[in-house]
A and B are shown apart, each in its own frame.
Chain A
Amino acid sequence: MRMALIGKKLGVTQIFKNGARIPVTVVELGPNTIIQKKTREGKDGYDAIQLGFDEKPHKKVGKAMKGHFQRADVKPVRFIREVRCTAEKVTEFEVGQQVSCDLFQVGELVDVTGTSKGKGFQGVMRRHNMKGAKQKTHGTHEQFRHVGSIGCRTTPGEVDKGKRLPGQMGNTTSTTQNVQIVGVDTENNRVLIRGSVPGARNGYVIVKQSMKKLGRIKTIGIEGASS
């Protein structure tokens, strides 16, 4: 069972811990409101809880969503995501309950999902790290940053699916796996996550317990260091 919370990326800095300089991303994490509970027995057919983050004024809510918030008797929020859970876990929560970042503990590994920064329509050198022209002299012209050949001739007579070509880069949902939580500040609803997470400042991120290393606690900094 992996628990998740919705938050907002606030910025990047560094801290000093156990003799090491640690690059951190500051994330405003929660409190999240539980808006809906879904159960396998109910009409949804699966177990999940629906989390909401970032309150917004009533006048900015459309009619459809207004009903949804009213049913749960919660304040309207800007960002809603669902987390799949086990049936027992769903019963632990109540609709309207606030969930805060003390769900996570220092040293825990998490996966962080966000929308990566958009880079626009980019060529193959930037988008796929291709090398461009081998040689820039001896008659080469107008080919310096091109793709090169994109396939064979009559056989197979088509371009391979998934061939890396120019196109939109960034602005996609992206996940950074196994990043460590190095600080939890329940007072200010902030967590510090080691390294970088997808997206720009003020972008929404979903912090979820690690898929690959669930429950693993790692030490922070240099082992046995004094400060």
Chain B
Amino acid sequence: MNTVIDDVESPYVRSDLPALRVGDTVRVHTKIREGTRERVQIFEGIIIAYKKGGNRASITVRKVSHSVGVERVFPLSSPTVNKIEVKSHGQIRRAKLYYLRNLSGKAARIKERTDRRPPSTKQRKKAKTETVA
């Protein structure tokens, strides 16, 4: 799109994160500053939205904590995001899983995806570069 904007954003885009998809259950490790100390906090939940766009890409992760729904938006290029682990993939039919907000208990579960579905182009590219290396 706008090459100048891409140019400004590109130094901040990270390549060390795994391929993420909506419906995945992830553990996000974030750096938290407490006074002068720094520690790592882990947030585990389902990705209900993935917003693309250079260094502005973000994921919204939802979990239910003590029967209260909690959602956090993580900017993927942020240096405060240490790492992201993908625990499992979900079988989903929508790009945004906002409907989960209205569901609770058993209804709010997502079926796990077995690898019947072909991997995305991004994942295929990644696998290719890995085998070459």
A-side interface residues toward B, CB under 8 Å? Answer: 10-16, 19, 21, 24, 26, 28, 188, 190, 192, 222, 224-227
Contacts and interface: CB of A to CB of B under 8 A. Distances in A.
Contacts, number: 44
B4 A19 contact: no
A93 B16 CA distance: 49
For the residues of A in contact with B, the DSSP-based class is strand
A21 B78 contact: yes
Interface of B: 2, 4-5, 7-9, 12, 33, 36, 38, 54-56, 75, 77-80
A55 B101 CA distance: 55
Given A14-B56, A190-B4, A226 B38 contact: yes
B55 A26 contact: no
A16 B4 contact: no
Contacts of A226: 38
B55 A11 contact: no
Contacts of A13: 5, 8-9, 54-56
Contacts of B9: 13-15
A15 B56 CA distance: 9
Given A10-B4, A21-B75, A190-B4, A15 B55 contact: yes
B95 to A, nearest CB: 23
Complex A-B, nearest 10 residue pairs according to Cβ-Cβ distance, in ascending order: A11-B5, A227-B79, A10-B4, A13-B5, A11-B2, A26-B8, A13-B9, A16-B79, A16-B12, A13-B8
